[in-house]
Each structure stands twice: as C-alpha cells, then as structure tokens.
Amino acid sequence: MNVNDFLKKKKENRKITIVTAYNYPMAKMADDAGIDAVLVGDSLGMVMLGYDNTIPVTMEDMIMHCKAVSRGLTNAMLICDMPFMSYQVSTKDAIKNAGRLMQEAGAHAVKLEGGKEIADTVKRLVELGIPVMGHIGMTPQSVYKFGGFKAQGKTVAQAKKLIEDARALQEAGAFSVVLEVVPEELAEIISKELYIPTIGIGAGNKCDGQVQVITDLLGMTAGFVPKHSKKMADLYSAGLAGLKEYIDAVENKGFPDESTCPHLKDETLNEIKKG
C-alpha cells in the first residue's frame, strides 16, 4: 500500500482501512489482518502513556513507538503523526522533524493537524519527497482552543472554513485528509469535492476510508471510549480473565505443573548436593 493506492482506491470506490498502532504486537496484528495503513497516532499520549490529551507527546515518544510499529509491518503503509509544536514553529523545524520520522523511525508518510495555516509547510514537505496526510475537524492538538474535544463544522462558518481547509491541503499536495468528528453531511460534501481520499473518524460513513484507535476498537482498556468508536473485540475482559486464572493457578493450583518444569539430571543433582 502506498500513496498511489490511496488515490486508486478512491477512484475505484473501494474503502480505505486504517487503524492506529503503537507497538510491535499491535502493528503485527493489524498487518496480519490485512489493514491498508497503520497510523502511529499521537493519541498514544492518551491511550499508551496515560496523559489527558496529546499535547505532552514529544518527537522522541513518536520515534520510539514508530520504530517498534515499523518492525511489525510487512504490507501496510506506515503513517506517523507529527506531535504538537514539531511543525508549527517553522517550516525548517517541520522538515527536520518529518525527516527524522522517515529516516530514523521508518515512517512512509507523516500526518499534520491543520488546514490553510499549514498549507505552505505541507507543500514544502511534499516537494521534498515527504508524503503528507492532512487532518482537520476536531484536531486534538487544538483541544485548548476548542475548549474540549468538541465536534467541529456544525455552523455554516465552521463548515465553510473546513471545506476551504480541505481544498488548501489538496492543493498543497497532501495525499489524503482525515476528517475527525464532523457532521456526516459535511464529510460527504468534502469527500465529493476532493480527488484525494478523505479518512473519517466520527464523521459518518460517507468518507473514502475510516481510521479508528486500536485500543477503542479492540476493547483494550476499561476506561472512556468515544461515542464514534465501535468495539469489535473485548481484549480487556479476555485479558482480565486470563490474569485472574494465572493468579489462581499460582496461588491455588500448583502452577507451573510438571509439564513446564525444567529438571536436572540425577548425576548432576548428586554432584551439586555433594558440595
């Protein structure tokens, strides 16, 4: 899967599937399942590192997790988020940091949050050979500006701005754009307007593809799960049951039993005992 396949899938009206992953086993599972692309999202700050939002995530965090994910992939495209303030200060910073994600961490593309205001940076990255995925709507790095994780594009002015942002990203050379928590009707208008694919999350099913956070999708945590995600498995409950069984086995059932127990040869044991 590469940037051309993204465009091809849209042309052929075939949906694009993306899931986040943050480590080797998650990446391997997604790749083995046949996912089109894996996103090392800066959501890792919340679902892996326990922060309240994505603001504290650093370049070093992204590089470490992206490296692990890249070792788990064979077929899927690897897209890595650029964390807060790694691309907003200057285009020079953006180039240096995007370059690190590709060169050190194995990313095939990077994702930046924002529309018109980052279009020049996107253009320069693409000119230099760095594929860029855009991300507009409820962009988590702007959580303080929005006053919370709130749906965007619900007023005429907001919707018009998002349409302009999507156009600006396409013109700048982005190969696709994520639409996060925007009304389905707006997502449909943008998807029809653009020739690059739109990837929705909490944006209804009229986008050209979908992205989901793997911990929500597979029920890996007991905590809050956003309304727009669907639990396709319950790994938390399965893990809890397995761990309880392990505790019971150690405490009450003589685990490990003979079948997994290593032994010394009699003569070796006798020698040892002789001192």
Catalytic residues: 180
Which residues from 144-183 bind ligand KIV, rule CB under 6 A? 178, 180
- With contact defined as beta carbons under 8 Å apart, do 170 and 177 qualify? yes
Considering only 16, 17, 27, 43, the residue that binds ligand KIV (CB under 6 A) is 43
The correct pick among 9, 22, 41, 186 for binding ligand KIV (CB under 6 A) is 41
Residue 83 engages ligand KIV in binding (rule: CB under 6 A) = no
112 contributes a contact to ligand KIV by CB under 6 A: no
227 Cβ contact partners less than 8 Å away, ≥ 6 residues apart? 202
> Judged by CB under 6 A, which of 38, 163, 213, 218 binds ligand KIV?
213
Phi, psi of 150 (to 5 degrees): -110, 145
Report if residue 132 touches ligand KIV, rule: CB under 6 A.
no
The reply on whether position 107 binds ligand KIV by CB under 6 A is: no
In angstroms, give the least distance from the CB of 115 to ligand KIV. 15
* 20 lines the binding site for ligand KIV (CB under 6 A): yes
Among 122, 211, 217, 220, binds ligand KIV (CB under 6 A): 211
CA dist 170 and 174 (Å) reads: 5
| Gap between the Cα atoms of 41 and 19, Å rounded | 9
Cis peptide before 256 (omega within 30 of 0): yes
Q: Using the 8-state DSSP alphabet, how is residue 83 labeled?
A: P
CB nearer ligand KIV, residue 226 or residue 242 = 226
Does residue 121 touch ligand KIV according to CB under 6 A?
no
Q: How far is CA 218 from CA 26, 148, 237, in A?
A: 10, 25, 11
Distance between CA atoms of 110 and 90, rounded to whole angstroms?
A: 16
**Of 4-12, 36-44, 117-125, 240-248: span binding ligand KIV (CB under 6 A):** 36-44
Any contact of residue 81 with ligand KIV (CB under 6 A)?
yes
Phi-psi region of 34 (alpha: psi -120 to 50; beta: other; left: phi over 0): left
What token pair was written down for 92? 């020079």
Closest separation between CB of residue 199 and ligand KIV, Å?
Answer: 7
Distance CA 199, CA 275 (A): 69
Of the residues 31, 36, 42, 208, which one makes contact with ligand KIV according to CB under 6 A: 42
- Per CB under 6 A, residues contacting ligand KIV are 20, 39, 41-43, 81, 135, 178, 180, 201, 211, 213
